[in-house]
Structure formats: structure tokens, C-alpha cells
Amino acid sequence: MITLHHCHQTRSMRVLWLLNELDVEFNLRVHPFDRSLRSEEFLTRSPAGRVPALEIDGDVLWESGAICEVLCERFTERGLGRIPGEIDRPDYLVWLHFAETISQHTAALTQQHIALYEDSMRSPIVMQLEAARLGKCYAAIEGRLSTPVENRDYLLTSGFSAADICVGQAVYMARHFATFDGFPALAEWYERITERPSFRSALPPEGAELLYDQPFYPPWPR
């Protein structure tokens, strides 16, 4: 049996989305985003006290990118990964892990806007720089999707994959700090992938405690 340890609106959402897409049986344990993640019990699953943690086949895995690779290799018949030797394998790995580049800038902005409660603690320079860096990430995706290649509806020429899931989830988070203005191909791709039932099922349920209490946080000054 597979068990995913998850917090709403965190990187574990990409693993939840992938599990939904793989259509496999799993248990979902939702944790509050608080100090309970630092408990001795949880640290046995994730040494840094972060989600996701995935229990599978008697092992416990952490790090969302690694978990997604393992799941795609475990369920190769679902076609969401790209195995060694496939022509899209290098691009698959690059885009799968590009999600972390996006996420690190979003994490910095989450800290500035949400974790720091007083304006005196926040840095206008950091907030503006990180929002601009998200724009650079958007530009990279826009460039990829705008390449005149047949059937480039997704990040890989061969079609939808876990790379779209990982990058799509990272963009889902990044939207709280950077808009899609000027990125039409990105906007169309995001709408396309988030219409999938597997994405909808990974969203926080109604009434759930959320990390973000507003849809968009403008760069400083507010």
C-alpha cells in the first residue's frame, strides 16, 4: 500500500496530483502545516521535517522530484515518465526538476509575504527580485511552449507527462506572486493541464486550512 503524507498548498501536491493521474490505490494523510512536522514520529519519515513523505513497498521516500521519478518508474505502463533510451528522456528530466527552480522563488516570497508577520521584517528588494525571477521562469516555459513543434501542447513533444505535473504544480503556487500577463502560451498550457480531473482532485477541499489566504500578493510596496 502507498501512503502519502501531505500538506495543502505545498510541494506534496505534485505527488498527490501524480498519484491521481496514475490511478493507483493510496492512503492520504493530511498534516497541518505547523510544528507537528518536526515531531520525532514524522522525522523518522522525513528527516528535514517536510512534506511530501511517501511510504511505498516498505520504504519511505522524501523529496518530491525523486518521488515522482520513482512512481513513474514503478508504474511505467501509465506512460507519465520517460525511461532511459527514450528520445524525450533528457527533456523530461530537465523539466521535471525545473519545478524546483520555480518553487524556490515561490518559497522565498511565501516567507516574505506570509511567514513574516510585520512589515518591518520584510525586504522590499527581496520581494521585488524574487517576483522578477518568477517572471524569468515563466519566460522559460513560454519559450518552450512557443517553439514551432507539432503537437507542443505540453512540455514534451511526446505529450503529457509528470514534467507537466511538477511544473504545473509549481506554477499553481507561483501564481500567488506573479501573473501570466505577457505569457499567452503559458496561460493556455496551464488552463489545459489544470482542467484534468486529477488536478482538481489534488486541490484543497472546501473549508481546508490554507497556507495562502488571498489569491495574489502584489510586490512591495502594497
Residues 134-192: pLDDT tens digits? 999 999 999 999 977 766 899 999 999 999 999 999 999 999 999 999 999 999 999 99
Note the pLDDT of residue 136.
98
- Segments making up each domain of the chain, as ranges: 2-78, 89-197
Q: Enumerate long-range contacts of 145-150, CB under 8 Å, 24 or more apart.
A: 145/185, 145/186, 145/188, 145/189, 146/185
The dihedral of CA 133, 134, 137, 143: what is its sign?
negative
Classify domain 89-197 by CATH architecture.
Up-down Bundle (1.20)
Kindly report the CATH class assigned to 2-78.
alpha beta
pTM for the full predicted model: 0.95
Residues 182-203: pLDDT tens digits? 999 999 999 999 999 999 999 9
